Amino acid sequence: MELELLADNKKAIPIIANWYFEEWGHLKEGNTLAKFTESLGDYLNADKIPLIVLALEAGEVLGVAQLKYREMDIYPEKEHWLGGVYVAKTHRGKKIAEKVIGELVLIAQKLGVQTLHLQTQHPSGGQYTRLGWKPIEKVNYHGVDVLVMEKNLGV
C-alpha cells in the first residue's frame, strides 16, 4: 500500500467525492455530488492546509483522510481538524484508516500543528481512542450526535 497526497493524484477526486456524498451528503440540505467534487479542489495542496492523504494499492484508491481548518463552526478557537476519514467498504478492517491518519498526523506535525481535533459519531471514540485521541465533549452538531476529540502533537 502506498500513501500519497490528493495533489499528486487528482484523478481520485471523483471517487472521493462519490464516497463523501454517499456517506455524508444527506447531512446538509442542498448537498450535491457536484458540490462535493468542487470542494475537493481546495485540498490540492502539498505543503499547506487543507490537504488530503490517500491510501492506494495497484492504483486503486482504498481510503482517505483530510487535514483541514475549522471543521465545526461551534468551535472557532479549534483551528486544525482531521476529517473526511473514509475507507472503501471492500477494504475495511485492514488498518487503512490507521495508516492514512498516521501519515496525516506526521504531515500536521511538519506543518507546525500543535493540536488536532476531530468529530466522530462513534460514542466511545472507536479507533481514535486506540490511536491516542482524547475526548473533549459530546455534542449534537447539525442534528447528529458526535464526540469531539483532540490529540496533542507535541510540536
Query: What structural domains and CATH numbers belong to the chain?
Result: 2-152 (3.40.630.30)
* Amino acid (1-letter code) at residue 109: Q
The answer, yes or no, to whether residue 116 has pLDDT greater than 80, is yes
- Condensed to tens digits (0 to 9), the pLDDT of residues 89-107 reads 999 999 999 999 999 999 9
Under 8 Å between Cβ of 19 and 86: yes
- pLDDT, residue 27, reads 72
Task: Tell me the CB-side half-sphere exposure of residue 91, using CA atoms within 13 A.
Answer: 17
pLDDT digits 0-9 by tens, 29-81: 778 889 989 999 999 999 999 999 999 999 999 999 999 999 999 999 999 99
pLDDT attached to residue 1: 94
Backbone angles phi, psi at 20, to 5 degrees: -65, -45
